[in-house]
Chain A
Amino acid sequence: MGKQLLSGNEAIAQGAWEAGVKVGAAYPGTPSTETLENLVKKPDVYCEWAPNEKVALEVGLGAAMGGVRSLVTMKHVGVNVAADPLMSAANTGVNAGLVLLAADDPSCYSSQNEQDSRHYAAFGRIPCLDPSDSQEAYEMAQAAFEISERFDTLVMLHETMRIAHTKTLVEVEGERVEVEPRAYESRPEKFVMMPANAVRRTLAANDREDELIAWAEQTELNRMELRDRNVGIVCSGALYTHVREALPEASVLKLGVSWPLPPAELAEFAAQVEKLYVVEEACTYFETRVRALGIEVAEPPAGRLPRSGEITPAHIRAAFGVAEPAHLSAAEGLPPRPPAFCAGCPHRLVYVELRRIKAIVTGDIGCYTLGAVAPFRAVDSVIDMGASLSMAHGMELAGAGERTKRPVVGVIGDSTFAHSGITSLLGTVYNGGKGTLCILDNRTTAMTGTQGNPVNGVTLTDQAARVNPLDVPAGKQLDLVKLCEAIGVDEIEVVDAQDAAAIRAALKSAVAHTDKLSVIVFKAPCRLLDRSRGPIPVIRDCRRCGRCVQIGCPALGRDETGHAVIDPNQCIGCGQCAQTCPFGCISKEA
């Protein structure tokens, strides 16, 4: 098929498809999302969004146990959610091949932390492959299935944002290997992880570890490149390309397999070079393990690399004493341009009203995390998927609301609620918890690019067929009211998230009932789904009070005199500003 320009995620989808993958499962998460979105568009492979990463991995494990090659994808923090099945699957092994793509995000471009997923590979003692560009991602996706079946193990394919979202040239074969489903026979001694079996499977994993180390010593996925013998650098992934950029003369041991490490090859490399260095980002994954083999790791001659954040060629140049190219200094005094709610975003008015009642908000993961920044500054915590609801319960147990005379409100999005919020809500109801919880139902998983989810009822297949979530029949959607009723919530109300007065009334009523557990579903579609436009509001007799701009709409500003002005290019005519002006100076109708 010739050369194609593919992102790492597109290349992994192509590689997995050519390897005959039959089932894909994932929960969307930057920077992993496009992998399954590309795979689903190919023939003879079934793909689905799971409610969360634990479910996705279990679906993949079931499919692999059932005899077909399966791919499961997630972002790094998703691996935490999937860690439970991961650690047991690491012992059971597979039947047909099973590959878990873990996509890390050094520097937290779109994440709440920058943990390195390879620790889970080492933890579970499953092989981990680390591509340095899309060509390798494509090839390693195929190799991963071979390795999975050869060694009877779950395999982690690991990438960082720079691999996932960098398009590089790939020589695509385009031919799919049709892999016949493997025979299934019951093997409880392998897959029923009760103590006696689990102990035996751990012994099997010990043997497998020895075999994998022997394999890692000779695989061509690891590559020793000897140049200047004074400097030898151990690295992997995108960092290999940064090392080549910054120190083209340096010798390199490029580890395409980041677990297990090859002890003999590392010792050989150490013997070949004057000094051995490790270049890695946001952790000491390699450094700790190389040192544990008794191999000396030198500190870079001009200073250590940063301990957190993405490492770039400039960091490597600095650490090894290579001069930085001349350049202007960064401009000072520029206004920052942080991400913001879109014009017409249905989350905006909810935060305006939460700020009005001075709520302590335990927040959650999604676009609505932006309620934490100016002008709202209305969110007190964002930890992990689902934590909003359980932490609101914990705050109630601490009596924090009573002591501060501020209502505690948990705020969660629809997709996040399906991911991990339902069990949190169940826990609160079960234990007689009270308080106010808000589900911001914008009919989609917005942050990652408007994916389907169990609440809107759009499957990954529907998504590939471009089904708009607003067109899904009610019977396919998850009825949040019925669900909350069944769980046993005292008060449930559905409120139009574009109606400021209704939002205010619902919140006021809910926080007043401190003896009840109230759930308010604030419902209105994400602006990325419903792009309809209304007339641009008209401003008359502006009092220059500046209240309207405090809703943080990108289309709304003030001129030099303080008069409100609307940018017609950005305004979509939602009328949120008209609802906010205390003097009625902004009208939706011309």
Chain B
Amino acid sequence: MPHDTSTNYGVAEGGAKVTLDETKTILLVGVGGQGTILAGQLLAMVAADAGLDVKVSEIHGMSQRGGSVSTIVRVGQKVESMICDPGCADIVVAFESIEALRAQQFVREGGRLFVNDERITPVPVNIGVCQMPEGIDEKLAAIDATVIDAGGIAREVGSPRSTNVVLVGALSTALPFAETEWEDAIRRRVPPKTVDANLAAFARGRAAV
């Protein structure tokens, strides 16, 4: 009797195929609980549907307790390592501004950095053992970051928890997959009740870049 694994999403056959000359590396960074894992899975689904090889590396466990988190997605004709070393990310999507600066060395020369314009104060700052960095906006501008008010957009479409999908919309503009493929992945992946809100969040994120 065939049986599917419950957390898995099968690869859709018959979609438009995409060829990449080189493996692309997308690094998603944020704070535990911000939804980087879902964003990475949407990208992986779209790439797999397009006939590409995919690897998605996630960090589980202790760092999920409000710590810095990262998800690496690598897509291409044949993907070898699942790791992203400094200078190797074609695209970094930061779900939080300090985490964007923390990940700046991973962006390759000529790569893109998308940043959610949101600051989450780390506990060491709250308890007074560290300071918030000064001039975050200037620092992000200096490294050519594309800053998006993803949280604000998500609230505007009435779905604050869709901030991650707004960022997926922004990310989608830098990758060679059709808009309809992304929308299809969102429909298959998010809870049915939230499909419309997430599609709206995706469209607004796409338009924001």
Contacts and interface: CB of A to CB of B under 8 A. Distances in A.
B193 to A, nearest CB: 18
Interface string A336-358: 11111110000000000000000
Nearest to B132: A335
A38 B139 CA distance: 44
Interface residues of B, number: 68
Interface in B1-15: 1-11, 13
Interface string A528-555: 0000000000000000001001101110
A557 B109 contact: no
Interface in A19-48: 30-31, 33-34, 38, 41-44
A313 interface: yes
A292 interface: no
B85 interface: yes
Contact of A5 (B2, B8, B88): B8
B3 A338 contact: no
Contact of A552 (B1, B86, B99, B126): B126
B20 interface: no
Contact of B9 (A5, A33, A110, A553): A5
B53 interface: yes
A298 B7 CA distance: 44
Interface stretch (A207-215, A367-375, A381-389): A367-375
* Majority-rule SS of A interface residues: loop
A2 B2 contact: no
Contacts of B123: 337-338, 340, 374-375, 552, 554
Contact of A313 (B55, B81, B130): B81
B126 A162 contact: no
A339 B85 contact: no
A30 B61 contact: yes
B105 A336 contact: no
Contact of A3 (B41, B48, B130): B48
Which of A110, A166, A175 has most B Cβ within 10 Å? A166
A5 B132 CA distance: 39
Interface string B75-100: 00001111101111000000000110
Contacts, number: 228
Given A6-B5, A336-B124, A339-B63, A166 B86 contact: no
Nearest to B111: A327
Contact of A245 (B64, B81, B87, B126): B81
B141 interface: no
B65 A327 contact: no
Given A10-B5, A41-B5, A337-B98, A4 B82 contact: no
B124 A335 contact: yes
Contacts of B109: 325-327
A476 interface: no
Contacts of B107: 327-328
A578 B42 CA distance: 41
A111 to B, nearest CB: 8
Contacts of B79: 168
Contacts of B65: 339-342, 367, 370
Nearest to B142: A328
B60 A162 contact: no
A554 B32 CA distance: 12
A334 interface: yes
Nearest to A370: B65
Given A110-B63, A325-B108, A338-B124, A5 B3 contact: no
A327 B63 CA distance: 26
Contacts of A14: 5
A400 interface: no
Interface stretch (A193-201, A236-244, A496-504): A236-244
Contacts of B4: 1, 4, 174
Contacts of B62: 30, 109-110, 339, 367, 447
B139 A169 contact: no
A554 B99 CA distance: 16
Interface string B136-159: 000100010000000000000000
Contacts of A314: 85-86, 88
A556 B11 contact: no
Contacts of A341: 65
Contacts of A554: 66, 123, 126
A509 B151 CA distance: 49
B54 A169 contact: yes
A166 B55 contact: yes
A342 B62 CA distance: 12
Contacts of A329: 105
| 4 closest cross-chain pairs (CB), A and B | A110-B61, A327-B87, A325-B87, A314-B85
Interface of B: 1-11, 13, 31-32, 41, 44-45, 48, 53-68, 79-83, 85-88, 98-99, 101-102, 104-109, 121-133, 139, 143
30 contacts: A2-B10, A3-B11, A5-B9, A34-B7, A42-B5, A109-B59, A110-B63, A167-B56, A168-B54, A168-B82, A174-B2, A242-B83, A312-B81, A324-B87, A325-B108, A326-B87, A326-B108, A327-B107, A328-B104, A330-B104, A331-B102, A335-B132, A337-B98, A337-B102, A340-B66, A367-B65, A447-B62, A553-B126, A554-B126, A557-B126
